[in-house]
Structure 1
Amino acid sequence: MKKEYNLTKAKRGSVVSARGKTRITIYLDDAVLAKFREQAESQGKGYQTLINEVLLQASTQNTTPVTEESLRKILREELRVA
C-alpha cells in the first residue's frame, strides 16, 4: 500500500458505468415484484433483468392499442368465465 494517494482526479460513484442503461425509480405492486423475483430465481437471473426483458418484448410486439371497446370486450369475456 502506498503511503499517500493522489485523489485530485477521483470521481464519486460507481467504478464501472452502466452503458446503455438509465437508473429510474418505479413503483410496482408487491405481488408483481414477488412474481418477478420468483420467476427470476427459478431462471437463475436477476429480477430486474427479467422485468427489462418482458418490457422490451411487450414494446416490440405488433399489437393494436387497447381501446375502451376492446377493454370492455375482454372484461365481459373474463367475467363470463369467472
Structure 2
Amino acid sequence: MKRQYDFSKGKRGAVIPPTGKTRVTLYLDDDVFKTFRVKAELEGKCYQTMINEVLRKSLPAKDLSPVTVDDLRQIIPGKS
C-alpha cells in the first residue's frame, strides 16, 4: 500500500453514473403504501415498480407538440 495517494483528479459523487432514475423521498398515505406492497407481493413485483407504472400511466402522451408543415409533408404525399 502506498504511503500517500493523489486525489487531485478525484470527483465527488457516485462512482457509477445514474441510469435514468432519480432517488426521491416521498410520503404516501399508509393505506396507499400498504395496498401497493400487498399487490406487489401477490404479483411478485417490486412495489416501487408498480407505483412507477401507475404514475407513468397518469402522464399525458409523450409527444403533444403541434403538427408542423414539415410533418404534414412527410405524412401526405404530394408536391413539395
Q: Normalised by the size of structure 1, how large is the TM-score?
A: 0.53
1:41 CA displacement: 1.0
Please state how far the C-alpha of 1:51 moved relative to its aligned partner.
0.3
The 1:38/1:19 distance shift into structure 2, 3 A limit, reads same
Residue identity matched to 2:52: N
Aligned to 2:65: none
Query: 1:60 offset after TM fit, Å?
Result: 3.1
Sequence identity, in percent?
Answer: 50
What's the offset of the Cα at 1:58? 1.1
Amino acid corresponding to residue 24 of structure 2 in structure 1? I
Q: Which has the larger radius of gyration?
A: 2
Aligned to 1:67: none
Structure 1: distance between partners of 2:12 and 2:44 = 31
Residue 41 of structure 1 corresponds to which residue in structure 2?
41
**For 1:57 and 1:24, how far apart are their aligned partners in 2?**
19
**1: CA distance, partners of 2:47 / 2:6:** 36
Judging by fraction of residues, say which structure has more helix: 1
The alpha-carbon deviation at position 32 of structure 1 amounts to: 0.4
**Aligned partners of 1:10, 1:49: CA distance in 2, in Å?**
34
Instruction: Specify the alignment match of 1:70 in structure 2.
Output: none
Which residue of the partner structure matches residue 31 of structure 1? 31
Aligned length: 59
What's the counterpart of residue 76 of structure 1?
none
